[in-house]
Amino acid sequence: LGLINIIDLFVLIIIIGLLGFGAYRILNKNPEAQISSVNLVLELEAGPVRSITVDNINVDDEIWDSDKGYKLGTIIEKKVEPYMENVQTADGRIVKAEVPEEYKVLLKVKCDQVVETQSAFTINGFPIQIGGSIATKTKYILTRMRIIGIHRDY
């Protein structure tokens, strides 16, 4: 009756192992779990777009992700360029040419409360990465944009 049998010893070893593993997880936090909140400036590109879209994108407008419903930030700068496309000339060369009545819009958007982990920036749990595409909207327009730059806002 007073002896420890093999099953009791096995259960005791499992309990001690679980306690040790729990203490290890608490004391050695995963760097991925260490997060901080930062402010970023995103550079976004939309194009080709028509003049009605260009005219209705305004500095100081809030811009949102239209698919997921979260606020990206506030537009702080807008630059408009003619939309260029590769075309073949009569002699077979490929050159860039303006597409009539189509434009490329470059925006800088100030994003507050972006979460930074060791591997990504996220807004509302969604990763923000250069090369990514976002369906965006403002009060006036709805268009798809590409992320072409991410900069810390100090």
| pLDDT band at 154; cut points 50, 70, 90 | low
- The answer, as to whether pTM is greater than 0.75, is no
Q: CA 107, CA 43: separation in Å to the nearest integer?
A: 6
In degrees and rounded to multiples of 5, residue 104 shows phi and psi of -115, 130
Phi-psi bin for 21: left (phi > 0), alpha (psi -120 to 50), beta?
alpha
Q: CA 39, CA 58: separation in Å to the nearest integer?
A: 21
Tokens of 88: 């073949």
Give CA angle at 126 (122, 129), nearest 5°: 65
**pLDDT tens digit string along 109-118?**
998 878 887 7
| pLDDT band at 1; cut points 50, 70, 90 | very low
Greatest extent of the chain over all pairs of C-alpha atoms, in Å:
100
Of 16, 42, 12, 35, give the one whose Cα is nearest residue 152: 42
Q: What is the pLDDT of residue 31?
A: 52
Residue 138 has what DSSP assignment? Answer: -
Q: CA 111, CA 10: separation in Å to the nearest integer?
A: 54
